[in-house]
């Protein structure tokens, strides 16, 4: 340990003062226990307007070094350097302990920062969490594009991955999309080969139709209890023939088709699902609900494949790292009543339009009006008429104090993409877009925006306030800001560009894992600039939209980054403990040791 010099400490109160949870008196008492600290001053005890007096005080106490603590200590650095110089000491011995820089909000943190400053040790070095051994297996929670990408990266590096997915198939939201912006590549053509790879990879064990129940243990050695919900169909023996679904009388709205069509109670989520096996929706199955009907069991060609009485099971796995990639849910357009979603059948959400445009969707790629089927459900069918005019309304549920204040980042671009796709399918149809600000932020996005404007799409700056029904058409009310014109546009179909929201389960999962979330409910990274994948819990990384709205390229990039962190820890065989578990005494002892 290096020799310490006689030290004076000054608390400045500039820069909005101290946080209310910082107890200056407690810190003072603590600092005075350090042998070389000769005096601790608060602003009221030291008159900085009187240089001579301060200089004399420092001289009398033989102070050789000054520590300035507070929100903006740098302001006083020159003053104390001058005073030390005038006393014949080294003017460079002024140390800053900035509360603002280290985001100090309570007494413990303030004490830590001051201790590090006292021992002349960088806080980041002293506060480095300890390392512990790591189990080589990894759990990825969420089987969307982020989870798939992260799993493949880790599995290709030769390590075992459990990929947990809540629904019956991996794929997530990306599987529902028709095209990706700005290149207009087919989303399924990119995603499905990756899904198949996951299904066949020797190092990946898929846990579909499962949920995380509890997590115990610590970084490097997590014991995870997984609830395997009853699928009621044997994944190993089901041949995916579909005879059961033909005979099944139970019906429910199709999740994969965003509610644009109906599916049976025994179903395969979509044609390219992985695993491509049937499962039973217990909310729609007549046997589960009423105890009657077992039509599927009777027609199934494989013996003992369907077991209607199967119960939920629980398994426990041990993993060293966890990647959270649980994704998002689209904003519920019914909450924005002014746009009439749910009241007017031809007000649709962007996800519904996406399914209509998709060749594998309910209308085989025809954009048509919503109609009632023989059971009275609102669905889309190919034999309905097509709209002659379409309006796309941006920022539904985003950038609005009534719903979500944040920008969902992807809506501008996917709206432009949808406008292009509508124009491609129905060249005679007018397309109007109403936006607040056009956020074409990524590589090639601005070029894409310019291309769309050249395609004859009417892109209007000015938000839509209301959608009404008039003479059998929909009336969209807005103002053209650039042309200073009030617009009342009659259209056949209105598309609401809904934003992204955290899933309800995010809250539970954040409690199970101990990962903090932001005010909006997204998972919080350790540092948005320097560490955007790790969290405050050691061995838990985030990837994809569950960390905040982002587009597919960014999601894939973050998933790869998260995977690289996991691979790094497995190769080293060590993992850092959680930052949040660090205690003041630990850091102080380390700082003393390192000085």
Candidates 57, 370, 399, 439: give the one binding other proteins (CB under 8 A). 399
Report how far residue 492's alpha carbon sits from residue 359's, in angstroms, rounded to the nearest whole number.
Answer: 22
Smaller CB separation from other proteins, 285 or 440: 440
CB 307 within 8 A of CB 234: yes
Would strands 321-324 and 138-141 be described as parallel, antiparallel, or unpaired? Answer: parallel
Cβ at position 454, least distance to other proteins in Å? 25
Candidates 148, 212, 266, 395: give the one binding other proteins (CB under 8 A). 395
Q: Distance between alpha carbon 518 and the CA centroid of its chain, in Å?
A: 10
Would strands 328-330 and 347-349 be described as parallel, antiparallel, or unpaired? Answer: unpaired
Picking from 461, 493, 491, 495, the residue whose alpha carbon sits closest to that of residue 478 is 461
CB 512 within 8 A of CB 215: yes
Cβ at position 346, least distance to other proteins in Å? 20
Cβ at position 404, least distance to other proteins in Å? 10
Angle, helices 411-425 vs 445-454, to 10°: value is 40
Segment lying near other proteins (by CB under 8 A), choices 47-55, 200-208, 374-382, 482-490: 482-490
Count CB atoms within 10 A of the CB of residue 503.
Answer: 17
Q: Distance between alpha carbon 123 and the CA centroid of its chain, in Å?
A: 29
Smaller CB separation from other proteins, 400 or 586: 400
Picking from 228, 262, 243, the residue whose alpha carbon sits closest to that of residue 305 is 243
Cβ at position 484, least distance to other proteins in Å? 5
Q: Tell me the torsion sign for CA atoms 84, 88, 90, 92.
A: positive
Report how far residue 249's alpha carbon sits from residue 246's, in angstroms, rounded to the nearest whole number.
Answer: 8
Segment lying near other proteins (by CB under 8 A), choices 192-200, 254-262, 285-293, 480-488: 480-488
Beta bridge partners of 396: 498
**Residues between 401 and 420 that touch other proteins (CB under 8 A):** 401-402
Report how far residue 212's alpha carbon sits from residue 348's, in angstroms, rounded to the nearest whole number.
Answer: 33
| Residue 458 contacts other proteins per CB under 8 A | no
Cβ at position 398, least distance to other proteins in Å? 9
Q: How many CA atoms lie within 13 A of 314 on its CB side?
A: 7
Beta bridge partners of 162: 139, 205
| Residue 462 contacts other proteins per CB under 8 A | yes
Q: How many CA atoms lie within 13 A of 39 on its CB side?
A: 18
**Residues between 364 and 393 that touch other proteins (CB under 8 A):** none
**Residues between 541 and 570 that touch other proteins (CB under 8 A):** none
| Residue 337 contacts other proteins per CB under 8 A | no
Smaller CB separation from other proteins, 193 or 483: 483
| Residue 432 contacts other proteins per CB under 8 A | no
Smaller CB separation from other proteins, 466 or 583: 466
| Residue 519 contacts other proteins per CB under 8 A | no
| Residue 470 contacts other proteins per CB under 8 A | no
| Residue 468 contacts other proteins per CB under 8 A | no
Segment lying near other proteins (by CB under 8 A), choices 20-28, 84-92, 397-405, 524-532: 397-405
Between vectors from CA 328 to CA 324 and to CA 333, what angle results, nearest 5°? 170
| Residue 463 contacts other proteins per CB under 8 A | yes
Report how far residue 181's alpha carbon sits from residue 419's, in angstroms, rounded to the nearest whole number.
Answer: 12
Cβ at position 13, least distance to other proteins in Å? 28
What is the DSSP track for 41-58?
Answer: E-GGGS-TT-HHHHHHHH
| Residue 436 contacts other proteins per CB under 8 A | yes
Cβ at position 405, least distance to other proteins in Å? 9
Segment lying near other proteins (by CB under 8 A), choices 13-21, 269-277, 417-425, 484-492: 484-492
Burial of 244 (0-12, 13-18, 19+ CB in 10 A): buried
Candidates 4, 307, 386, 479: give the one binding other proteins (CB under 8 A). 479
| Residue 334 contacts other proteins per CB under 8 A | no
Cβ at position 333, least distance to other proteins in Å? 16
Which uninterrupted H or E stretch holds 498? Answer: strand 493-498
| Residue 478 contacts other proteins per CB under 8 A | yes
| Residue 24 contacts other proteins per CB under 8 A | no
Between vectors from CA 352 to CA 350 and to CA 353, what angle results, nearest 5°? 65
Cβ at position 400, least distance to other proteins in Å? 4
Smaller CB separation from other proteins, 486 or 571: 486
- Residues in CB range of 151: below 8 A, 6 or more apart: 140, 161, 163, 198, 201, 204, 563
Site string for other proteins, 235-274 (x = CB under 8 A): ----------------------------------------
Cα separation values, 363 from 88, 193, 370, 418, Å? 86, 24, 11, 16
CB 92 within 8 A of CB 81: yes
Segment lying near other proteins (by CB under 8 A), choices 131-139, 281-289, 460-468, 580-588: 460-468
Cβ at position 337, least distance to other proteins in Å? 11
Residues that bind other proteins (rule: CB under 8 A) add up to a total of 21
| Residue 441 contacts other proteins per CB under 8 A | no
Smaller CB separation from other proteins, 265 or 497: 497
Cβ at position 502, least distance to other proteins in Å? 20
581 secondary structure, DSSP code: G
| Residue 335 contacts other proteins per CB under 8 A | no
Report how far residue 156's alpha carbon sits from residue 201's, in angstroms, rounded to the nearest whole number.
Answer: 9
Cβ at position 406, least distance to other proteins in Å? 12
Smaller CB separation from other proteins, 262 or 487: 487
Contact residues for other proteins (CB under 8 A)? 338, 395, 399-402, 436-437, 462-466, 477-479, 481, 484-487
């Amino acid at each position: 340990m290096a020799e310490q010099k006689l030290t004076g400490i000054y608390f400045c109160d500039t820069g909005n003062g101290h946080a209310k949870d910082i107890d200056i008196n407690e810190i003072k008492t603590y600092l005075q226990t350090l042998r070389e600290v000769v005096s601790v001053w608060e602003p009221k005890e030291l008159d900085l307007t009187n240089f001579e007096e301060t200089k004399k005080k420092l001289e009398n106490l033989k102070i050789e070094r000054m520590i300035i603590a507070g929100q903006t200590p740098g302001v006083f650095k020159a003053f104390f350097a001058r005073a030390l110089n005038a006393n014949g000491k080294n003017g460079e011995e002024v140390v800053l302990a900035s509360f603002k820089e280290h985001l100090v909000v309570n007494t413990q943190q303030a004490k830590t920062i001051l201790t590090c400053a006292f021992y002349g040790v960088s806080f980041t070095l002293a506060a480095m969490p300890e390392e512990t051994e790591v189990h080589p297996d990894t759990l990825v929670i969420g089987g969307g594009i982020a989870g798939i990408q992260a799993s493949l990266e880790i599995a290709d590096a030769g390590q075992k991955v459990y990929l947990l997915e809540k629904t019956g198939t991996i794929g997530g939201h990306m599987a529902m999309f028709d095209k990706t912006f700005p290149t207009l590549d087919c989303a399924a053509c990119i995603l499905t080969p990756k899904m198949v790879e996951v299904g066949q990879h020797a190092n990946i064990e898929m846990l579909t139709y499962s949920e995380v129940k509890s997590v115990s243990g610590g970084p490097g050695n997590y014991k995870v209890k997984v609830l395997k919900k009853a699928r009621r169909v044997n994944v190993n023996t089901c041949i995916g023939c579909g005879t059961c679904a033909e005979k099944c009388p139970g019906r429910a709205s199709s999740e994969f088709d965003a509610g644009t069509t109906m599916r049976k109670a025994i179903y395969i989520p979509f044609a390219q699902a992985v695993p491509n096996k049937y499962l039973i929706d217990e909310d729609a199955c007549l046997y589960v609900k009423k105890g009657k009907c077992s039509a599927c069991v009777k027609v199934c060609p494989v013996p003992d494949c369907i077991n209607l009485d199967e119960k939920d099971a629980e398994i426990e796995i041990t993993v060293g790292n966890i990647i959270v990639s649980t994704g998002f849910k689209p904003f519920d357009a019914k909450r924005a009543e002014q746009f009439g979603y749910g009241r007017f059948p031809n007000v649709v959400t962007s996800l519904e339009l996406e399914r209509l445009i998709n060749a594998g969707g309910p209308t085989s790629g025809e954009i048509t009006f919503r109609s009632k089927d023989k059971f009275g459900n609102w669905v889309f069918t190919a034999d309905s008429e097509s709209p002659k005019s379409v309006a796309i309304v941006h920022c539904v549920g985003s950038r609005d104090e009534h719903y979500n204040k944040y920008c969902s980042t992807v809506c501008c671009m996917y709206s432009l993409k949808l406008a292009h796709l509508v124009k491609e399918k129905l060249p005679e149809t007018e397309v109007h877009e109403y936006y607040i600000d056009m956020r074409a932020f990524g590589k090639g996005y601005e070029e894409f925006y310019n291309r769309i404007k050249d395609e004859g799409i009417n892109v209007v700056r000015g938000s839509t306030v209301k959608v009404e029904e008039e003479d059998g058409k929909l009336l969209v009310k807005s103002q053209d800001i650039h042309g200073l014109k009030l617009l009342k546009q009659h259209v056949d179909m209105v598309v609401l560009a809904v934003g992204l929201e955290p899933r309800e389960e995010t809250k539970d999962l954040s409690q199970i894992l101990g990962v903090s979330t932001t005010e909006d409910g997204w998972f919080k990274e350790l540092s948005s600039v320097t560490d955007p994948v790790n969290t405050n819990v050691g061995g838990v990384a985030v990837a994809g939209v569950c960390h905040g709205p982002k587009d597919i390229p960014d999601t894939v990039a973050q998933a790869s980054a998260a995977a690289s962190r996991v691979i790094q820890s497995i190769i080293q065989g060590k993992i850092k403990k959680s930052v949040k578990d660090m205690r003041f005494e630990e850091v102080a002892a380390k700082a003393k040791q390192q000085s």
